[in-house]
Amino acid sequence: MITAFIFRALDRNTYIVLGLLLAVGILLPLLSLTDPSFPLHVPTYVIALIGKYLCYALLALSVDLVWGYCGILSLGHAAFFALGGYAMGMYLMRQIGARGVYANPVLPDFMVFLNWNELPWFWYGFDHFWFAAIMIVAVPGLLAFIFGWFAFRSRVTGVYLSIITQAMTYALLLAFFRNDMGFGGNNGLTDFKDILGFNIQAPATRGVLFFASALALAAGFLICRAVIASKFGKVLIAVRDAESRTRFIGYRVEGYKLVVFVLSAMMAGVAGSLYVPQIGIINPGEFAPANSIEAVIWVAVGGRGTLIGPIVGALLVNFGKTWFTSGMLAEYWLFVLGALFVAVTLFLPKGVVGTLLARAKARPTSTSAPAAVSPIDATIAAEEGA
């Protein structure tokens, strides 16, 4: 049954995206391991950079799943991303062992610094990778479940939902800044050494992490595609376009929303967990509401309601950010980003990919009034084309 679920998702476009991701995921790390004199050599920092983008793309994909297909604009996805990141960070901290500055065999450096005598209970288990791997999806998933359970049952929708998701991530930001929380406070978790026994700085490890990110993104894409292609996905789109009507037809809207919200939070958690070892640090700043909003703009730029859109959007915006902030124009990046927000909402409501798809769809029938297509029809049409 699950295979049927997956196989239905596999259309031509999906094959192309998956193929591309896997090809990039394998080729780039291999090229980075070549000799620097090799003409196609890829420097390690490029691998780290693009690996980071791939994690962002997965985050954008998870935002798109709830926003583009279910109409839930979450301004708190950075919280799930950061929680996944912290779970991974805690595992990496345990791997440091006695190699910290204070060389304490049991406690991480920051706990020694705070004069703590024993490991807090919530750090137990993070010595094992399998435990951390479970937590990476379980913690964001649980938070999303509790939050969504209350919010969707009370029929908190639209703007209100956006604002309380923002309040949630803001509250977590404040909480993780506290030293008493036991997550390193202001400085967060850093100074990682090993992952699964391999040196985290080694080019080969970085290559594997890059491949894992590409693989995770491909898997996320496949899962989203499968969800959207299923009957469940059609109900989600119905909820997005006419929530009350869907409810009156007899669907339990809150159940559908809850499932997709939790799934999306887990994807964001995985993205965060792959982000942390490649960046080398996780701190409370990742919870900032601004990060959530930025993830939303990646989706908007690429095109919500399409699955390729958020990936393209995340890559485009972040390439732009890197290009701008590394040069003379660093000061103007916020102008560009701000203008991008405004321009996309005003002129490209369907995003880059959405607009292109709509145009491609409209061309054969251009003789018969394409302007009559409503935005909702267009996104659905675009989706079916995707």
Partner 1 sequence: MTPERTSVTMRYSLPCLATLAAVFFMLAAALHPAFGADIRPEVNALGTPGYTALKEAIGALAATGDPAVPELLQALGQGELYVRVADSAVFKVTDTDDGYNLVDPLTGEDAGPAAADEVSKITVNNSVRETISAALGLMTLMSPDPQKRLAAAGDVYKSQDPKQIPLLDTAIAKETDKSVAAALQLARAAAVLRSDMSDADKLAAVEIVSQRDDQDAISLLSSFVASAPDGAAKTAAASAITTIQGTLQLWSGVQNVWYGISLGSVLLLAAIGLAITFGVMGIINMAHGEMVMLGAYTTFVVQEVIRSHYPGLFDWSLAIALPLAFLVSGGVGVLIERSVIRFLYGRPLETLLATWGISLILQQAVRTWFGPNNREVGNPSWMSGTFDLGHLAITYNRMWIVVFALGVFAVLMLVLKRTPFGLQTRAVTQNRPMASSMGIRTPYVDALTFGLGSGIAGIAGVALSQIDNVSPNLGQNYIIDSFMVVVFGGVGNLWGTLVGAFTLGIANKFLEPYAGAVLAKILVLVFIILFIQKRPRGLFALKGRSVEA
Residues near partner 1 (CB under 8 A) are 73, 147, 150-151, 153-156, 158-160, 162-164, 166-168, 170-171, 174-175, 177-178, 289, 293, 296-297, 300, 331-332, 334-335, 337-342, 344-346, 349
Q: Decide whether 2 or 346 has the Cβ nearer to partner 1.
A: 346
- Asked if residue 63 lies in contact with residue 49, where contact means CB atoms within 8 angstroms, the answer is no
**Separation CA 130–CA 111 (nearest Å):** 24
Q: Decide whether 113 or 170 has the Cβ nearer to partner 1.
A: 170
Q: Decide whether 124 or 150 has the Cβ nearer to partner 1.
A: 150
| Structure tokens that stand for 34 in this block | 């070549």
- Asked if residue 150 lies in contact with residue 143, where contact means CB atoms within 8 angstroms, the answer is no
Helix (H, G, I), strand (E, B) or coil at 34: coil
| The dihedral sign for the CA sequence 85, 86, 90, 93 | positive
To partner 1, the closest distance from the beta carbon of 154 in angstroms equals 4
To partner 1, the closest distance from the beta carbon of 174 in angstroms equals 5
Dihedral, CA of residue 382, residue 383, residue 384 and residue 385, to nearest 10: 50
Q: How many of the other CB atoms lie within 10 Å of CB of 134?
A: 13
To partner 1, the closest distance from the beta carbon of 267 in angstroms equals 21
Question: What are phi and psi for residue 280, nearest 5 degrees?
Answer: 90, 5
To partner 1, the closest distance from the beta carbon of 289 in angstroms equals 7
Q: At what angle do helices 231-241 and 203-229 cross, to 10 degrees?
A: 80
- Counted residue by residue, the chain has a size of 386
To partner 1, the closest distance from the beta carbon of 278 in angstroms equals 26
Q: CA nearest 286: which of 268, 310, 299?
A: 268
Q: Decide whether 199 or 244 has the Cβ nearer to partner 1.
A: 244
To partner 1, the closest distance from the beta carbon of 155 in angstroms equals 6
Q: Decide whether 7 or 150 has the Cβ nearer to partner 1.
A: 150
Q: Decide whether 14 or 318 has the Cβ nearer to partner 1.
A: 318
Q: Decide whether 156 or 279 has the Cβ nearer to partner 1.
A: 156
To partner 1, the closest distance from the beta carbon of 161 in angstroms equals 9
Cα three-residue angle 36-37-42, rounded to 5 degrees: 40
